[in-house]
Amino acid sequence: MSKSDEILIGSSDAKTFAHGERKKLILASQSPRRREILENLGVKFEVVVADTDESSDERDPRRLVRTLSQRKALAVRDALLAEGRDLSDTVILASDTVVSVDGEILGKPRDAEDAKRMLRLLSGRRHEVISGIALVCGEVQDAAYEVTEVEFDEMDEETVEYYVRVARPFDKAGAYAIQGLASAWIRGIHGDYFNVVGLPVHRLNCLYRSLFDEKIF
């Protein structure tokens, strides 16, 4: 169940970036999981983050993750340009991930009680993990999203209490990480595994190549 929605925001011709040296990459995220994914792919990159307003009234998770990804990338671009940095050969990559169930968007839990509430919602059911990505290079800006369906096993109250106490999933959308302790309760997924981890690798590869006519990996 993989979907995408790519919107070209800038006006520059992406082909003008082709046939030169490979561009530098900046990851606009502090997420160790996103860093690890890029490192395992052999991608050379720099991590730069900037304060970003992540508040939004948007209730469509697909639009929300695109919007927040774009904000993060543009915030880093603007901060670096303000420092006088030349970004003409640099691509800024940002991403945002949420969980959606019953029309409710689950971001990172506020506290232990909120994490338990989220896990009770996910217990014994299927839900969607939606990750947005944004790429910014000069006047070219593009955003896309990926959706992966995840099915959870039943989690009784004792299990929920144990999981939150041990895993402390307060920096995870939906209060779980598929690559961690939560994997013991995941029956299966349909779609991109790395999307659930936090960076949709296949969507990123497709978007990058369509924009810049070169490989990111």
Active site residues: 96
CA distance 64 to 131: 10
CA angle centred on 147, ends 141 and 153, rounded to 5°: 150
CA distance 208 to 33: 20
**Identity of residue 2:** S
Question: Per-residue b/e over 168-183, b at no fewer than 16 CB within 10 Å?
Answer: ebeebbbbbbbeeebe
Instruction: For residue 7, give both structure tokens.
Output: 């919107």
